[in-house]
Amino acid sequence: MIDDVPHEKQPAELISKTPGEGLRYFTLSKAQTTIGSGPDRDIVLEGLFVSRRHAVIERRDDGYWLQDSGSTNGVLINGSQLEPSAPALLRHQDRIDFAGRVVIFWIRGVGTPLFPVELLENTPPLPEPFEVDSARRVVRFRGEVLNVRMSPLEFALVLRLYEQRHRVCSKDELGEALWGAPMVNGRRMPQYDDNMLHVKVHNAKAKLAKASPGLEKIIVSVPGAGYRLDIESLSETRK
């Protein structure tokens, strides 16, 4: 019987839950299982901040060991950062966060009061993936303050997009927020042009990318409408 086999030698798998797709099971049947967003990985996890070669799980005599493959945004096990140079022995029901894509490590045949779906749905909420703090004038990504130095206008741009993150901000709205629009003869007169706004957007995205590669993609241009923040792509594990 499978329960007579030491837990470390029983078949194991990673279990994820994707909105609209239900549970997905990834069996760890190989001596080494590669994980990442690249199409050549054994387990392909889609996500804005998942590296092409994110991590690897090695099956050894004493169990399954997880190692960060030098990913850009790291790996968390039950909320603790995994150091790239220090593989970790996985335990039944471990919650693994691959830069926003969360999976449960599951050993078949191990008695437990919870099922994978309960573990995935009832885990403590993650920090807001992206925040702009106007009082402290800082930007946070996954709970950590980013080392990003923006000009006052660049910060004002990102702040406006964050405050209106559930909709598209028009160019005129952003231009007025950054440069103002005084009333002249009863009409508001914009003090900007498209090139001025484009430069500020470009600079803000470049500085976000420098602080955390890939984060620049959060600012999305909507043709004919303006700009918006694509925070939902960072929050899929919270849905």
Across 8-17, 152-161, 187-196, which has the greatest mean pLDDT?
A: 152-161
pLDDT score recorded for residue 109: 66
SS3 content of the chain, % helix, strand, coil (to 5): 25, 30, 45
For residue range 205-214, list pLDDT tens digits in order: 999 999 988 8
For residue range 92-146, list pLDDT tens digits in order: 989 999 988 889 999 876 655 455 556 665 555 445 678 899 999 999 887 789 9
What CATH number has the domain spanning 130-236?
1.10.10.10
Contact 73, 53 (CB under 8 A): no
Query: What is the rounded average pLDDT of the residues 10-14?
Result: 83
Rounded Cα distance, 66 and 92, in Å: 13
Is pLDDT above 60 for 186? Answer: yes
Rounded Cα distance, 180 and 162, in Å: 19
| Structural tokens at position 227 | 């700009």
CA distances from 51 to 24, 101, 115, 127, 214 (A): 20, 11, 29, 20, 10
Query: CATH topology for 12-122?
Result: Tumour Suppressor Smad4 (2.60.200)
Query: What is the rounded average pLDDT of the residues 59-83?
Result: 91
Rounded Cα distance, 120 and 107, in Å: 15
DSSP codes, 158-171: HHHHHHTTTSPEEH
Domain ranges across the chain: 12-122, 130-236
Rounded Cα distance, 201 and 218, in Å: 11
Burial zone of 137 (CB within 10 Å; 0-12 exposed, 13-18 middle, 19+ buried): exposed
Is pLDDT above 60 for 2? Answer: no
Tell me if 12-122 shares its fold with 130-236: no
Is pLDDT above 80 for 175? Answer: yes
Which position has the token pair 């690249």? 38
Query: What is the rounded average pLDDT of the residues 174-188?
Result: 85
**What is the value of pTM for the model shown?**
0.54
Percentage of the chain exceeding pLDDT 90: 53
pLDDT score recorded for residue 10: 60
